[in-house]
Chains A and B, each alone.
Chain A
Amino acid sequence: MKGPQNSHAEAVLLEARQLGRVDLQAQAVMLAPTDFSLLAGERTALIGASGSGKSVFLRALALLDAPSSGEVLWLGEPVAAPLIPQFRSRACYLPQRAALVEGSVMENLRLPFTLKHNRHKRFDAATAARLLEIAGKPRRFLDKAGSDLSGGEAQLVALVRALLLAPQVLLLDEPTSALDPQSVAAVETLVMNWLDESPDARALLWITHDHAQARRVSTRTLTMDQGTLLK
């Protein structure tokens, strides 16, 4: 896998070619073969009704589910099976409901750095504290137990945990749809802050129901309808 992208804006970070998913048991098309590319610096929102296949598409892009057809390319190359973990730490998928493990916020934030493919990266407590501060959380928040967090707080922890890996792409699957307005603002601020750190090298794809949010966070909006991506 190639190293960090030289920062010219036309570079394609993530690409899908004829990416499709079929539910074999129900004989139903979940995602019609889809072509898609995400350029460095691009901010894309994806909207569509529930069950239209937005999540299916995002999970297939992160290679969390095996595609029935087509392929996913990272920096112009198909992602080979053994390289998928590295790929996922560069194109990070974030679900609607944050999944935390037992233990404190700090332990949750450290978790990615215990994984084999992230061991060369170092957990930086100062950065973690700074990111939480941007989200309006005091330093002692790090010591809170994961099980005591509200839905919004848990989502902030999940987002900061992903951001600490310094990914190049964020695949956000309705991360704020169940959150209070304050947490929504904090999530948006964190994501925009992450983009601004390296605006020409990073990109995001954000699923949302909220058109106002789509306008705030993105520069183009795509629509998913019954498993088909409309341009």
Chain B
Amino acid sequence: MNYHNLAYTDVAIAAALILVNGLLSLLLKLQLERQLLIASLRTITQLLAIGYILGWVFQHAQWYIVLPLMLSMTLIAGFSAAGRGQLRHRGQLADSVLSVGLSAWLVTAIGLFVVLRVRPWYEPQYAIPILGMILGNTLTAVALGIDRMTRELSAQRPVVDMILSLGGTRWEAARAAASQALKAGMMPTLNQMSVVGIVSLPGMMTGQILAGQQPGDAVRYQIVIMFLIAAASALGTVCAVLMTFNRLFSPAHQFMAHKLAKRS
């Protein structure tokens, strides 16, 4: 099996295919030309940039270089998890960063130290893509969990207050919303796990096969990654839901609905 190296001319040919989209847009007057151009340029520059950064990091495989990169990936993931959803509240950013960070790092550590036993642990070839995949999925789970929790509480406010009025604790009042939120956070991973290999071939596995790896090996890696992602998403959602609960309910068993504001 030979690995075919791509030259920039090959990339240019593929990039030219965007003209198909451009032509369609012109013919059908979709007025997407500007957006298409910007999106294409972003794809090219962002990926080239990350390619250079990764290339440089791989050559300088030191913990003091890998660790800051992993930290900034985590922060970006946490910030983008906090930026989604219909409602926002004070503390959402801190909660998102913490739940994405804690769960992704814990599970990545298990993956690197216990499952793959990578030495040294910060070997960028492993540490960066594995953390990246886990972060990407955990941030979605955390964003979905917080969004569902806040929307559910806001929509069900009369029921929440009713349970509190009848002597319910704050947790009893929030429980229905919290379990909806946990389900919402875990659902994408569960769906992915049940169709993987049948409907979709995951990018990582495909990449390994393209790079000349035996499919059997690639599949084993993919299985490990799927379970790491599942664990991190679940853990991240639980953290995020509990933190949101703590933000919106006072120790005096009051639902502080005024803390929820529509995102502008």
Residues of A within 8 A of B (CB): 25, 62-66, 81, 84-86, 88-89, 92-95, 97, 99, 101, 111-112, 115-118, 158, 161-162, 165
Contact = CB atoms under 8 A, between A and B. Distances in A.
A99 B167 contact: no
B167 A115 contact: yes
A66 B254 contact: yes
A88 B252 contact: no
B250 interface: yes
Interface residues of B, number: 20
Nearest to B176: A101
Contacts of B203: none
B166 A165 contact: yes
A81 B166 contact: no
Contact of A115 (B172, B251, B254, B255): B172
A43 B208 CA distance: 78
Given A95-B158, A99-B159, A88 B250 contact: no
Given A97-B158, A99-B158, A63 B168 contact: no
Nearest to B252: A81
Given A64-B161, A66-B256, A116-B168, 13 more contacts: A62-B165, A64-B164, A64-B165, A81-B252, A81-B253, A85-B164, A85-B167, A95-B165, A97-B158, A99-B159, A99-B162, A158-B162, A165-B166
A112 B166 contact: yes
B253 A117 contact: no
B169 A85 contact: yes
16 contacts: A66-B252, A85-B167, A85-B169, A88-B167, A88-B253, A93-B165, A97-B158, A99-B158, A99-B159, A99-B162, A112-B167, A116-B172, A117-B169, A118-B166, A158-B162, A165-B166
B69 interface: no
Nearest to A161: B166
Nearest to B166: A112
